[in-house]
Amino acid sequence: MKDKPRRWVTLSAAAKLLGVHPATLRHWADTGQVPSYRTPGGHRRFDADDLHTFLLNASTGTALQALPSDESMIESALVQTRAELRRSPPSQDAWFSAFDDAGRERQRTLGRNLFEYTVQYVTRPQRRPELFQKGWQLGTAYAEGSLRYNISLLDTVRAFQYFRHNLVQALTAGDEDKTNFDSEDMRLRQDIDDYLNEVLFGLIDAYEQKILGTALMARHEESES
């Protein structure tokens, strides 16, 4: 008896069938929770029968409970970033050495917020206006923390880019071949970039406002002297 031919479906179609965001299914596939196949061109494909079996198991109320949620995606990204910090600690960088223990703890909290908001921005499109505002506010908070410790804008942007790189790497883990991305991969990376750019713009704007305010104050003092 011949094996039944497999029916492959795209990431978008599979996510629609399961009722989840494509980024969530992508994470499940990358962590081995849902079987998938990569075409020679780097596109993800899912077997329709595997998805049907998954849905049957999910109806028992156990399968979905065992799968990663947004929270586990955030934790996974944080774990990978911490591992990278241990491998290559930025102890000699001005932005890192300038913080005391309290400052570093504040930065860790901001970092977790950054990861959380980015994941939510990707997986919950209906909340994007609210999360965009939070991203800008988070950028402002990053700037305020650096200004408090007299860290330059250049070093602050370098620090943000360091964590940005690690966050993108963590959220796009599993792409061994970086030259081949399907449309969902490209959309995910674009969504991440769009959100992190908004955080960066908020950071730069806060610094600019501070610099302009300082310059205006200096002019005022000169005019009165």
CATH of the domain at 40: 1.10.1660.10
Is the entire prediction scored with pTM above 0.75?
no
Provide the domain limits for residue 131. Answer: 70-224
**Per-residue pLDDT tens for 89-134?**
665 566 777 888 898 889 888 988 998 899 889 888 889 999 999 9
Higher pLDDT among residues 153 and 32, named by residue? 153
What's the mean pLDDT in 176-182?
A: 52
Q: Provide the b/e sequence for 139-149 (b: ≥16 CB within 10 Å).
A: bbbbbebbbee
Looking up tokens 């494509």 gives: 22
Residues 55 and 84 both lie in one domain:
no
Q: Residue 179's closest CA among 23, 46, 41, 44?
A: 41
Residues 13 and 88 both lie in one domain:
no
The CA-based angle 34-123-75, given to 5 degrees, is: 70
Residues 61 and 75 both lie in one domain:
no
Instruction: Name the most confidently modeled range: 11-15, 31-35, 215-219.
Output: 11-15
Residues 212 and 122 both lie in one domain:
yes
DSSP string, 18-58: HTS-HHHHHHHHHTTSS--EE-TTS-EEEEHHHHHHHHHHH
Q: How confident is the model at residue 66 (pLDDT cuts 50, 70, 90)?
A: very low
Distance of alpha carbon 75 from alpha carbon 80, whole angstroms: 9
Say if CB 134 and CB 197 are below 8 A apart: no
Query: Which pLDDT value is given to residue 89?
Result: 64
Last residue of a domain, one of 66, 84, 110: 66
